[in-house]
Amino acid sequence: RKEVEQDPGPFNVPEGATVAFNCTYSNSASQSFFWYRQDCRKEPKLLMSVYSSGNEDGRFTAQLNRASQYISLLIRDSKLSDSATYLCAVNKADSWGKFQFGAGTQVVVTP
């Protein structure tokens, strides 16, 4: 079993709709969580860090569920420009420099 898992999708979303997806992690000691966006095999770019209390940035909301060991990303009022692959990243608590990424969830926003 992979240590960080994501539904690969694609999630086909009509423009203006809401889409949400999760990322599960297996190391219960993990402390830091991130969502990155990646366009067409270009470099990943940080979308948002995920804090224990959850956080929101415009149309994007990230949540952390420690009990069930997953993080989630919700995109409201989807735009065509939101079409991308979304990668989750988890930092290992016992080795601060180590990061593990999920394989990504593809989102396709359609007109």
**Cα–Cα distance measured from residue 72 to residue 21, given in angstroms and rounded to the nearest whole number:** 6
21, 24, 35, 44: which one contacts another protein (CB under 8 A)? 44
> At CB < 8 A and 24+ separation, what contacts does 60-67 make?
60/35, 62/33, 62/35, 64/33, 66/28
**Which stretch, 9-17, 43-51, 55-63, 73-81, contacts another protein (CB under 8 A)?**
43-51
Site membership for another protein, residue 87 (CB under 8 A): yes
46, 54, 59, 65: which one contacts another protein (CB under 8 A)? 46
Nearest approach in angstroms of CB 89 to another protein is 8
**Cα–Cα distance measured from residue 76 to residue 79, given in angstroms and rounded to the nearest whole number:** 9
Site membership for another protein, residue 43 (CB under 8 A): yes
Site membership for another protein, residue 102 (CB under 8 A): yes
**Which stretch, 10-18, 40-48, 54-62, 72-80, contacts another protein (CB under 8 A)?**
40-48
**Cα–Cα distance measured from residue 35 to residue 49, given in angstroms and rounded to the nearest whole number:** 6
Beta strands in 17-102, from DSSP E residues, in sequence order? 19-25, 32-38, 45-50, 55-57, 60-65, 70-75, 84-91, 99-101
Site membership for another protein, residue 49 (CB under 8 A): yes
Positions touching another protein (CB under 8 A) are 4, 6, 8, 31-34, 41-46, 49, 87, 89, 91, 95-104
